[in-house]
C-alpha cells in the first residue's frame, strides 16, 4: 500500500465520536468501503461498521463527519481500502483524513425521572406528542407501515410488521415476558431496504422506552435477547445500529428529540420530530412509528398510576 499522503487529497473531519477516534490509537488496521451514499459512506473495519458522514448530517455513533457535503462526488467506491497506519487514515488511492479540525462529539446521558410519568401534566404532554406524531405519520406514505399498494410481497411484509407491532404493544402492556423476545426477534430484518423497517422501528421504540427510569425499561433483557437472536439476520449496517441502540447510543438528532421528550420541552420538538422523519428515505418515518409507540406505552403505564 502506498500510504504516503503527498499525492492524496485531504478530507477534513469536523467531528467524530470516541469509537471512531479510538481507531486512531491502533497501530495498524485495514478495512473496506462497504457502501457509498451521497451523505454517508459505510466502512467495515475488523468486525465493526463505521460511517463517514456528510457535514449535512448530524453526529452518530461509530462515525465521523466530513467537511464535504456530497460524498458521492468523491472518487470512493465499494471495496476500496480503508487503512489506518500510525494514526494516519487513507481511503483508496486518492484520499486521506485529516483530524486537525476535528472536535469530539460526546453523546449526553439521558435519564428518565421515574415519578414524572405519573404526573398529569406530563401525561398531557405525552398525549399531545402522540397526536402530533400520529398526524405526521398519517402523511408518511414512504413507510412500509403505511403501505397501500398492490405488491404482494410488500403487502405481506406490511401486514406482518403491523401484526408484530400490535403483538408487541399487547405483550408490553401486559408485561408478558414469555414471547416478548421472540416477537422482537421477528422485527429484525423485516423490511425492504438497507435498514429494514422492523429494525428502524425497534431503534425508535427503544430510544425512549428503554431509558433508565422508564417503566418499561425493566423489559430491557427481553429486548436484548430478541435483538441478539435476530442480529445475524439483518443487514450489517442495521445490525450495528440495533446493537448501538441496546447500548443507548443514538444519532445526535435522536438524542435531541429524546431529551426534549424526557424534559417535556416543547420549544424545538416539532423540528426535532421532522429531523427524525427526514432520516434516510423511509427510516425516519419507521423510527417515528417506534417513538410513537414508546410514547403510547409510557403514557399507558403512567396513566395507571397518575397522581
Partner 1 sequence: MSTKVVIKKNTYFDSVSLMSISTKANQLDHVEQAFVAMATEMNKGVLRNLGLLTPELEEAKNGDLMIVIKGPSDEANEEILVGIEELFNKKNQGGGSHEAKYATINSAKTHIKESNLAIISVNGQFAAREARLALENDLNVMLFSDNVSIEDELALKKMASSKGLLMMGPDCGTAIINGTALCFGNSVRRGSIGIIGASGTGSQELSVRIHEFGAGVSQLIGTGGRDLSEKIGGIMMIDALKMLDADEDTKVIALISKPPAPAVAKKVLEQAEKCQKPVVVCFLGSQPLPEDKPGLTFAKNTKEAALKTVLLTGVKKEDLNLHSLNWPLIEEVRAQLAPEQKYIRGLFCGGTLCDEAMFAALEKYDDVYSNIQPNPEYRLKDINTSIAHTFLDFGDDDFTNGKPHPMIDPTNRIERLLQEARDPEVGVIMMDFVLGFGSHEDPVGVMIDAIKAAKNIAKQDGRELIILGYVLGTDQDTPAMDAQVKMLTDADVIWASSSTNTGLLGREFVWKGEKA
C-alpha span between 154 and 142 (Å, rounded): 12
Neighbours of 215 (CB within 10 A): 20
* Residue nearer to partner 1 on the CB measure, 214 or 235: 235
Separate counts of helices (H) and strands (E) for the chain: 10, 9
Assess 142 for contact with partner 1 (CB under 8 A). yes
Assess 68 for contact with partner 1 (CB under 8 A). no
* Residue nearer to partner 1 on the CB measure, 123 or 238: 238
Assess 233 for contact with partner 1 (CB under 8 A). yes
Minimal distance, residue 276 CB to partner 1, in Å: 9
Count of residues that bind partner 1 according to CB under 8 A: 44
Assess 26 for contact with partner 1 (CB under 8 A). no
DSSP labels for 58-99?
A: PP-TTEEEES-S-GGGSS--TT-EEEEETTEEEETTTEEEE-
Minimal distance, residue 220 CB to partner 1, in Å: 22
x-or-dash string of contact with partner 1, 251-280, rule CB under 8 A: -------------------xx--xx-xx-x
Q: How far is residue 30 CA from its own chain's centroid?
A: 25
What residues contact residue 46 under an 8 Å CB cut-off, 6+ apart? 29, 31
Question: Are β-strands 9-17 and 103-105 bridged in parallel, bridged antiparallel, or unpaired?
Answer: parallel
Assess 186 for contact with partner 1 (CB under 8 A). yes
Q: Which stretch binds partner 1 (CB under 8 A): 114-122, 173-181, 216-224, 228-236?
A: 228-236
C-alpha span between 236 and 205 (Å, rounded): 20
Considering only 235, 241, 256, 260, the residue that binds partner 1 (CB under 8 A) is 235
What DSSP state is assigned to residue 290? H
Which residues of the chain form contacts with partner 1 (CB under 8 A)? Answer: 34-35, 56, 78, 142, 144, 147, 149-154, 156-157, 160, 186-194, 196-198, 230, 232-236, 270-271, 274-275, 277-278, 280-283
Amino acid at each position: 500500500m502506498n500510504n504516503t499522503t503527498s499525492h492524496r487529497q485531504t478530507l477534513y473531519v469536523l467531528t467524530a465520536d470516541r469509537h471512531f477516534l479510538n481507531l486512531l490509537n491502533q497501530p495498524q488496521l485495514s478495512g473496506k468501503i462497504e457502501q457509498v451514499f451521497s451523505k454517508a459512506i459505510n466502512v467495515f473495519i475488523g468486525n465493526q461498521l463505521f460511517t463517514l458522514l456528510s457535514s449535512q448530517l448530524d453526529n452518530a455513533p461509530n462515525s465521523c463527519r466530513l467537511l464535504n457535503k456530497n460524498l458521492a462526488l468523491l472518487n470512493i467506491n465499494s471495496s476500496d481500502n480503508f487503512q489506518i497506519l500510525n494514526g494516519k487514515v487513507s481511503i483508496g488511492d486518492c484520499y486521506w483524513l485529516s483530524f486537525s479540525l476535528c472536535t469530539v462529539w460526546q453523546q449526553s446521558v439521558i435519564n428518565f425521572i421515574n415519578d414524572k410519568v405519573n404526573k398529569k401534566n406530563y401525561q398531557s404532554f405525552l398525549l399531545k406528542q402522540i397526536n402530533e406524531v400520529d398526524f405526521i405519520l398519517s402523511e408518511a406514505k414512504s413507510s412500509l407501515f403505511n403501505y397501500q399498494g398492490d405488491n404482494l410481497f410488500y403487502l405481506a411484509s406490511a401486514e406482518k410488521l403491523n401484526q408484530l407491532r400490535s403483538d408487541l404493544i399487547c405483550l408490553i402492556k401486559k408485561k408478558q415476558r414469555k414471547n416478548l423476545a421472540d416477537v422482537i426477534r421477528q422485527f429484525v430484518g423485516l423490511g425492504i431496504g438497507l435498514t429494514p423497517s422492523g429494525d428502524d422501528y425497534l431503534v425508535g421504540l427503544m430510544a425512549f422506552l428503554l431509558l433508565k427510569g422508564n417503566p418499561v425499561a425493566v423489559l430491557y433483557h427481553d429486548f436484548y435477547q430478541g435483538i441478539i437472536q435476530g442480529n445475524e439476520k439483518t443487514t450489517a449496517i442495521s445490525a450495528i445500529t440495533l446493537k448501538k441502540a441496546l447500548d443507548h447510543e443514538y444519532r445526535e438528532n435522536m438524542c435531541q428529540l429524546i431529551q426534549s421528550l424526557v424534559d417535556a420541552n416543547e420549544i424545538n420538538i416539532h423540528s426535532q420530530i421532522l429531523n427524525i422523519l427526514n432520516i434516510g428515505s423511509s427510516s425516519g418515518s419507521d423510527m417515528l412509528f417506534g417513538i410513537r409507540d414508546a410514547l403510547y406505552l409510557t403514557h399507558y403505564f403512567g396513566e395507571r398510576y397518575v397522581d
